[in-house]
Structure 1
């Protein structure tokens, strides 16, 4: 049976009786004339000044599918019936997709065939519309013809931010509304009870179970502790909200608000009865908590680590088992690709010589704390955990795991003598996209780039007047797990020797088929028990004592704090060079790698509030909730502590080059991610950029080509397959099936080992058979290589820490199907080190034992040939079993990227590329 992915509420709504009946009876011509925004009927000339632009026409960006993420009901109906697209809804999707086959012949002059011109302003002949929102005289929104991006120019700070809010609502109102409800755990009450909606709100509520008072306190604290900048941020946010709400009122009156409000029952499509609630300032914090949880909250997993450690110790004994576990953990692998590669050390998260305070669970006692209670109706038929898992893959799973990359080259090695950067975040592929493009010019603000919808009072990733910046998710550990000893009952715990009641936080959701997608009416209550050490996530016993495992992260109750860093990045009077950039990034408490380029300098800084742990605490495992093991200077009332100083964070200025694809930051800096070993997708960038730098004369086109080439590479094939074939070919291959497979794999390697179409738009891969064989072989060979030696219990526990595969078509992997981002999570480093050890080659930081074939070359060869023979015999339909997007056996479709619907508009699939969603290409020619 094909594997079917649960549909979103809106997917089902499109086929509901109410939707199809309306499509049949409504007069589409009347709707089109009456519901389209009046902006589409404007085209006034306007000239935008660009005297503050120092990029010399050499800044570009791209953000698929398109800037316009709002669609009226008429536009949604037309899209569903005939496939028509609203203006600017997918006009960036084609150029983005075409780079896969067009990069080989790229020149600097053709870059903007695949990217947008990201210069400041809009030439007069490219102005599509000019608007003064609400008739204000202090702000103008100009949209360009090519992309429809809003260029917001204000003469007052209030007017500038008012315009930013108005433009955000014009482009992303429905998405913003969805996510303010996700952040509060209220999505199903708002958009219906589909399983994906249930899973989405459950995923975030467990991590950030905030009350309205918590959200307001974040704002109050951020303002109180940041002086004039804090006051300015509050004023900016209020002006931004006023702009959003002005658009809500105008679009409601004019009936050109997003059609999803009609489809979900919030508005009546005939009478216009119903309301769209105004936004308030706590909504912005709710939105920020979702984004922070998705992209900027590295760490956690200590309980899973403990379970696998105990499995290793049970298999091998305590001493040897610990050694085996550490070899798979690869905390500080000497072969790992590094972003700061000049040898400088930044110790953090290292294994202590004598760990103290560990609270490892008794084997077999760990259970996850229930989140969902009191299910009724349709909610009673869905198990909470399975719902959450499926939703993560069908909605935001690719965002959570998608990550980002960066390639930055110093001017010393470029043809022009100016630094070049190609960088951007991988935020997943959605319709509408989570990010939106904008330019903001006003007092104290001068920037263009991408911002998360609903948080776009500042540009969060983009360019200033003479500098650009971007980020990748860093994943260093700012989350710890504490074992709180229970007393009295399951809902009281010992805090500093006193039996203390847990706080109960609840959110009840109810839905009916008339307000959603036809899912039968239902309800449930989400309940989280909070302690001073954070929310309860698991329960277990430790040495026979009942405990609750809580999760404490440094950004908990502090998602609003990062607004100050983004404000600084947008301020041309603050950022005038690389040190100012690093200072601004240091004010962002999310875990990110930040990159910078201007006409003279490059820079890097790793942000996040890294707690200073008590001496002897091993951050990999749970510790007792006792004063001796708390973060230094920790205040539970405010969740503040002592944090490592800026100088201790990996940072650098003017290194020869920087690469990042969520790899290890620097020597001795331990992230929470497993898999930072000898083979990592960061190697795909480093190998290419290192060659460019060695040759010198790097251009924008060459650096884009390096990125695009890496984006099509199969990491397993490029960096591991040659060693596997070396073992297989250590003796003549007499099995005809295996021999044929080896021949095809070698030919693919010789051709570059990439997953590319035979020609643009062919939807057929060159070397299709070799790709199919490796896709089938990898999971078989990993299991055959490691499970016999590790034993099934330990093997399973380790695969819970790190999945074995994340190929583009691997719907079973952590990212899910059709997500683009690939090869971040997998056992490629383990296979590489083990195979090299079996071959007798030098391995630094090797595994504790040899596993393949029991450590013998002949035994390893037998295991590889046996599994290769099995893989070669699998049909395309077996390897690519099909889903709700693709028929069984369609290899290209299985890999393809789908813009996952978060609204009513659908887009077509594009060929697989492993690259950022939003991306910049920059080379500044001068500086202020």
Structure 2
């Protein structure tokens, strides 16, 4: 009998076309693995679970999370999927309904919502019970799974049993993914899953920012629980029970031989003998997982060195005074035209520009070098095949997901047909197979919630609903990260701390992986090395005024990844959250940078969370400062990385505003620490324009608000909010060139039709107004460069594009999100183009750029630039605009935009049509309250 040769990287799970070769070498393995199917759960013909009496939503709560709840598959199921395309039960049954909303939203009515969403009511009707499990043979907890989506409904009679069931269910649905991410958080993915470039990229990205030792991970557990009193003790007990459930499933699946097949494919288990082990989970694994999630979605700010470099470039181009003005105008710190979540005029000043900056430590020109992370590399990082788009796409999409967690549409009962608030909201966490999030319902002593949680952290529902309220979040991005210039002494690895020469702390990870010939990844190893100071890890080296410095990155959540557990515990506690005020109190305990939204039957609320450090007087948060006592965070203790934080009342917050929108836009007036790009045109405007109109008209329904979200999800922001002004310049005189005139006609017709990237009909895989979309996709980067580069100069234009990419269209693989990622139009130069073109047209502009750039401010010269670049763009073929990749052939416009569920496991899924919307999403309208 041939041995099942293990494949040793996640990359091999992402390249299904290679599986036939593997099958030729292991055909008998398929037959053997077919016996390794999951144990059949006791199917309940009737079941005892029914609709819960503690559900106040009246059947009007819905949710969706593609591709499906089941993220585990045996070896046999993986191979069958790769060869024949078959899917394990509930692996992708939410993908179709999610995708179909793009075509079906225009005729959506309330009674059709659950055609595109799940019923998110508590409990499972008796005729909808698919299985009932007593995990580990316990009598104090039951896991019921429903027929439609396979979501686990966990009910416990004891707190321990409830959390044990939550851990067991998590392992049932996401064990391999959880294992991957506990290794990512430790910087040890390649040793665990192989040396593919994407694996290396993942571990390097996260470990650089959170280079924790095991002692650090344990210290965070001790600190988070010890400082939170009874709730801290309960959180520790819950986490231990949750781990017991995970490990119970590991043992059961190992002995029953129905563990995830990836353990065989990566060499951890033998399909024939069952030799090998799956390591139990421990408390520090949860902190490692939390560090990844926190880095992805909840750590806004940073970038001070890049800011400094672009400022220096601006001053070099224009001189110090004018260059600073130019830089500030592009930074748009507090743009008066930005869309706001709190739009009632209330001011929440934070990280405002000081009159005279103190302690700035700007680098000497040309002196900045990024601190090396990788050392002692041996072997190959992969062949040319493995270093292309397919190898890096998952890593790119994942690490960029932190840029676009969104969105939220919430309308007060004053504007709805029923008089009850309505919310359509959820996080945009990227598209993966399986999803980073998983669905569950958890009911037990002190716990009552349904919704989504990150795999491996699902002891509590993190985004979802309670008995009579729902909550959700978007990434807020306010600045909790600062860069310090530590002056070096003695050598490159000692620095001055309060006048004393102090040694840096070196933390290392050495990873190695086994050889394979199946995917082009050779055997190899490398060492990662980070130097840490009291001011955080070293990220850059430079000189400042001739002095050698290390630039370090310090964030308020550093060494505090576990602290937010208390806030999530509160959100799941029906005896705690009973009102907008108690909801806001709960999320104040979450130290990550999120915008939180709330709706019950009578009220809505908003709160911006995060430990916002109180900076020293005169410090400008945009730039590096000297690592000296005078410029440290107020009351900062380096031993614990704690400081004085802005009080809750200073965070943007609101109750019962007429409506709220959020798509990672500016939170409130004078809240000035947002990322680059919060100006006059932002994708938040796509929601603002639609929801404001609905709220003003009144009579809003769940379907109407969902339609608004779905319509914005298909809108091209450039075409809706900027293109009409560009065409106004072009049409300021008759367009005599026939090619340009034809392009103008197509673009104008598209704008008139609504400027959406929408199929001609459901499943056609062809866009209406396809030529206009192609032209704009080609025109935008050409036009932006021609508009700004001559005035800014090459160096400054390049520096500004490092601060803010010029484009993030759905097909823009060159953009910050990467190809096939769904999330689009968050980062780009749309505001700059909008303000500049309006200025050239002589229209009023608030917070305009310091100069006019298009044609040097001449309308005629600007028009010439636009027509010239438009002609060039219109002449490009579809194959040139959409060159093709590992997913699509050249020229396939629909495919270039399409969303791919990036494989983090062995199961693959089909592409779906592009839509720019949350990954997990709720539609809720409560009918009553406790």
The bucket for the TM-score relative to the shorter chain is over 0.9
User: Following TM superposition, by how much is the alpha carbon of 1:516 offset from its aligned partner in structure 2, in angstroms?
Assistant: 9.3
Counterpart-to-counterpart distance in 1, 2:383 and 2:199: 15
Q: Distance in 1 between matches of 2:406 and 2:723?
A: 25
Structure 2: distance between partners of 1:245 and 1:837: 63
Q: 1:262 to 1:42 in 2, by over 3 A?
A: farther
SS in 1 for 2:883: coil
- Partner Cα distance (1:280, 1:18) in 2: 38
Residue 127 (str. 1) matches residue 129 (str. 2): yes
Q: More displaced, 398-407 or 242-251?
A: 398-407
| SS at 1:26 equivalent | helix
Match of 2:4 in 1: none
- Offset of 1:881 from its aligned partner? 0.3
Q: CA deviation at 1:456?
A: 0.1
In 2 relative to 1, CA 386–33 (structure 1 residues): closer, same or farther, beyond 3 Å? closer
Give the structure 2 partner of residue 639 of structure 1: 641
- What SS does the aligned partner of 2:564 have? helix
Deviations 1:306-346 (CA, angstroms, capped at 9, x unpaired): 00000000011111100000000000000000000000000
Q: Which residue of 1 aligns with 2:307?
A: 305
Distance (whole Å) between structure 1 residues aligned to residue 394 and residue 798 of structure 2: 21
Change (3 A) 1:746 1:49: closer
CA distance in 2, matches of 1:833, 1:83: 50
Any idea what the Cα deviations from partners look like across 1:693-716, whole Å, max 9, x if unmatched? Answer: 111000000000000000000000
Question: How far does the alpha carbon of each residue in 1:51-97 deviate from its partner, in whole angstroms, 9 at most, with x for none?
Answer: 10000000000000000000000100100110000000000000000
After TM superposition, list the pairs within 5 Å mapping 1:220-619 onto structure 2: 220-379=222-381, 390=392, 394-513=396-515, 519-619=521-621
Aligned CA distance change for structure 1 residues 516 and 848 (closer, same or farther; 3 Å):
same
- SS of the counterpart of 2:767? coil
Residue 24 of structure 1: aligned partner: 27
State the secondary structure of the residue aligned to 1:8. Answer: helix
Contact map agreement 1:528 1:536 (CA 8 A) in 2: yes
Give the 3 Å change call, closer, same or farther, for CA 338–87 of structure 1 in structure 2.
Answer: same
- Give 1:18 shift: 7.5
- Cα 1:366/1:135, change in 2 over 3 Å: same
Could you say which residue in structure 2 is the equivalent of 1:78?
Answer: 80
Pairwise CA RMSD: 1.8
Distance change in 2, residues 1:381/1:144 (3 Å):
closer
CA offset digits 1:238-269 (Å, max 9, x no partner) = 00000000000000011110000010000001
For 1:589-630, what per-residue CA distance to the aligned partner results, in whole angstroms no more than 9, with x for missing partners?
000000000000000000000000000000000000000000
1:805-816 matches, within 5 Å, as 805-816=807-818
Q: Once the 2 structures are TM-superposed, how far is the Cα of residue 128 of structure 1 from its aligned partner? A: 0.1
Indicate the residue corresponding to 2:719 in structure 1: 717
Distance 1:764 1:391, change over 3 A: closer
- Which of these residues, 795, 798, 815, is aligned with residue 796 of structure 1? 798
Q: Give the alignment's TM-score, normalised by structure 1.
A: 0.97
- Offset at residue 793 of structure 1 (A): 0.5
Matches of 2:19 and 2:522, distance apart in 1: 12
| Corresponding residue number in structure 1 for 2:650 | 648
2:13 aligned residue = 10
Match of 1:622 in 2: 624
TM-score of the pair, normalised by structure 2: 0.97
What is the SS of the residue equivalent to 1:404? coil
C-alpha separation in 2, matches of 1:7 and 1:242? 27
Once residues 143 and 345 of structure 2 are traced to their aligned partners in structure 1, the CA distance between those partners, rounded to angstroms, is: 48
CA distance in 2, matches of 1:564, 1:469: 16
2-side partners of 1:239 and 1:165: how far apart? 8
Which of 163, 167, 170 is the matching residue for 2:169?
A: 167
2:708 is aligned with 1:706: yes
Counterpart secondary structure, 1:174: helix
Q: Is the 8 A contact 2:45 2:127 kept in 1?
A: no
- For residues 206 and 912 of structure 1, do their structure 2 counterparts lie closer, same or farther at Cα, with a shift above 3 Å needed? same
Match of 1:357, SS state, is coil
Supply the distance in 1 between the matched residues of 2:279 and 2:777 (Cα, whole angstroms): 48
Q: 2:200 aligns with which of 198, 201, 218?
A: 198
Note closer, same or farther for the CA distance 1:439–1:297 as it changes in structure 2 (3 Å cut): same
Task: Give the stretch that moved more between structures: 370-379 or 559-568.
Answer: 370-379
Q: Distance in 1 between matches of 2:611 and 2:226?
A: 18
Query: In the alignment, is the contact (CA less than 8 A) between 2:36 and 2:74 conserved in 1?
Result: no
Q: Give 1:37 shift.
A: 3.0
Summarize the Cα distance change of 1:516–1:372 in structure 2 as closer, same or farther, 3 Å threshold.
farther
Instruction: Indicate how the Cα distance of structure 1 residues 535 and 435 shifts in structure 2: closer, same or farther if over 3 A, else same.
Output: same
Alpha-carbon distance between aligned partners in 1 of 2:841 and 2:389, rounded to the nearest angstrom = 45
> Is the 8 Å Cα contact of residues 300 and 672 (structure 1) preserved in structure 2?
no
SS at match of 1:141: strand
Report how far residue 389 of structure 1 moved.
11
- Which residue matches 2:673? 671
Q: Aligned partners of 1:498, 1:228: CA distance in 2, in Å? A: 40
Q: Distance in 2 between matches of 1:263 and 1:845?
A: 56
Residue matched to 2:5: none
Q: How many residues align?
A: 921
Q: Structure 2: how far apart are the matches of 1:744 and 1:387?
A: 32
Task: Give 3-state SS (helix, strand or coil) of 1:471's partner.
Answer: strand
CA distance in 1, matches of 2:44, 2:73: 17
Q: 2: CA distance between counterparts of 1:155 and 1:646? A: 36
Aligned to 1:785: 787
Q: Partners in 1 of 2:681 and 2:737 — Cα distance?
A: 30
Give the Å deviation of 1:378. Answer: 1.5
Deviation at 1:158, TM superposition (A): 0.0
**8 Å Cα contact 2:417-2:700 kept in structure 1:** yes
Q: By how many angstroms is 1:380 displaced?
A: 9.7
Report SS of the residue matched to 1:70: coil
CA contact (8 A) 2:36 2:75 kept: no
How far did 1:348 drift? Answer: 0.3
Report which stretch shifted further, 401-410 or 211-220. 401-410
Partner of 1:827: 829
CA distance in structure 2 between the aligned counterparts of 1:788 and 1:379, rounded to whole angstroms: 40
> Is the partner of 2:14 in helix, strand or coil?
helix
- Mark the runs of 5 or more structure 2 residues left unpaired by the alignment: 1-8
Structure 1 Cα separation of the partners of residues 357 and 391 of structure 2: 34
Other structure's SS at 2:559 match: coil
Runs of at least 5 residues in structure 1 that lack an aligned partner in the other structure: 1-5
* 666-675 or 808-817, larger mean C-alpha shift: 666-675
Partner of 2:663: 661
CA displacement at 1:519 relative to structure 2: 1.4
Q: Quick check: 2:159–2:446 contact (8 Å CA) kept in 1?
A: yes
- Answer whether contact 2:841 2:859 (CA < 8 A) is retained: yes
Aligned equivalents of 2:464, 2:313: Cα separation in 1: 46
